[in-house]
Amino acid sequence: GAVVSQHPSWVICKSGTSVKIECRSLDFQATTMFWYRQFPKQSLMLMATSNEGSKATYEQGVEKDKFLINHASLTLSTLTVTSAHPEDSSFYICSAMQGNSNQPQHFGDGTRLSIL
């Protein structure tokens, strides 16, 4: 149980393109979903937290107009990187949590984004 699917797994696109990444909880309803970014050999950095039906909460330093998050249902959250540039190239990982804070976060397989 507790499977989180993330799509696509790999994106290569030109600078200026907008890229949408989907995160789905397949066998549970996720009250909260999280978006992380990870640069090579570094740890996961939380970008934002989203709850179904409400606006995402962004971490300090993360541009909400550049990284658009939509959490339309209890099983789906999307991250759109708008007008992506080479410095946005990174490994983006979503996670989902069911229920209260005693539950672990379950991670998707990640999306490797490369902007040329």
Residue 37: which residues within 8 A CB-CB, separation 6 or more? 44, 45, 47, 90, 91, 92, 93
Q: 39: exposed, middle or buried (C-beta count within 10 Å: 0-12, 13-18, 19+)?
A: exposed
Which one of the spans 12-20, 40-48, 63-71, 77-85 is the region binding another protein (CB under 8 A)? 40-48
Q: Which is nearer to another protein, 30 or 108 (CB)?
A: 108
One residue of 74, 79, 81, 110 binding another protein per CB under 8 A: 110
* Cα-based angle 101, 102, 104 (whole degrees, multiple of 5): 90
One residue of 7, 29, 109, 114 binding another protein per CB under 8 A: 109
Site residues for another protein, 20-39, by CB under 8 A, read 34
Q: How many residues bind another protein (CB under 8 A)?
A: 21
Distance CA(110)–CA(83), nearest Å, equals 20
Distance CA(73)–CA(55), nearest Å, equals 12
User: Which pair of tokens denotes residue 74?
Assistant: 């209890």
One residue of 1, 14, 43, 86 binding another protein per CB under 8 A: 43
One residue of 14, 53, 87, 102 binding another protein per CB under 8 A: 102
| Contacts to another protein by CB under 8 A | 6, 34, 42-46, 49, 57, 91, 93, 101-102, 104-110, 112
